[in-house]
Amino acid sequence: MITREVFVDIKAMNRNGLSIRRIAKITGLHRKTVKRHLESTSLHEYHKTKRKGSILDPFRPMIDAYLEEDDYQASWIFDKLAGMGYTGGYTIVKDAVREIKERNLPSRRRSKVLYTTMSALVARLKESPARVKPYLAASLVVVDEAGYLPVNANEAHLFFQFVSSRYEKASAIITSNKSFIDWQELFGDQVIASAILDRLAPSLQGHQHQGAQLQVERQGVCSAAYTTTGR
């Protein structure tokens, strides 16, 4: 595509008797291009068409929000978006999720500290592996309010698997209103309670506080009378 100035020059050189070959040499254009413009009465200007937006564009803020919250899989996010009215395909969601994860990879490699309550963690463990993945990868996990709500046998086993997965790999702070000798009551099973303590025991540090509590603060939430730290 040539500019209007070049188009006018081609017409002027032709009126002055220059051949197509000569005009092509002067302008650096192909002879066929010069001939086409000489035969045209006006310059057909190219207008760049505006790129159409993707069907996923209205949902991209939600994808960012989900991945900020957790390291969700693309299939999980796709199901959530479909429930919000997204009618596009899965592939475009998968590509968007991968792009965002790759973009955020440097920050995700830094040490990460996550807070949760015992009841919230158990709920994640029961829901899906994807919901727990960030807590398995974090450098430090603070599990608050252990012992405030009852834990059944299945939930106790899930928590044991979680602790085992992080064994000698990362640190944990578990806050509870019960001493270690009362953990059998907490988990409802002496065997599972002992197994959990065994995973923490190699580097276990216990802190008992009376009167002034040791506080773990997150968004205004404070709790804990005892803490244990793994690793």
Sign of CA dihedral 96, 100, 102, 108: negative
% of the chain residues with pLDDT over 70: 79
Locate all alpha helices (DSSP H) within the chain, ordered by sequence.
Answer: 4-15, 20-27, 31-39, 60-69, 74-83, 90-103, 105-108, 118-127, 129-137, 153-165, 183-187, 190-200
Q: Residue 86 has what pLDDT?
A: 92
214 touches 186 (CB < 8 A): no
In angstroms, how far is CA 46 from the centroid of its own chain? 41
For residue range 87-103, what is the model confidence (pLDDT) as tens digits? Answer: 999 999 999 999 988 88
Report residue 96 as tokens: 């968007």
Tell me which CATH code domain 113-230 carries.
3.40.50.300
Backbone φ and ψ for 157, nearest 5 degrees, come out as -65, -40
- When pLDDT is averaged across residues 64-83 and rounded to a whole number, the result is 87
User: 172-203: per-residue pLDDT in tens?
Assistant: 888 888 777 787 788 888 888 888 888 776 55
Q: What contacts 65, CB < 8 A, 6 or more positions away?
A: none
d(CA 185, CA 151): 9
The domains of the chain are located at 4-39, 57-108, 113-230
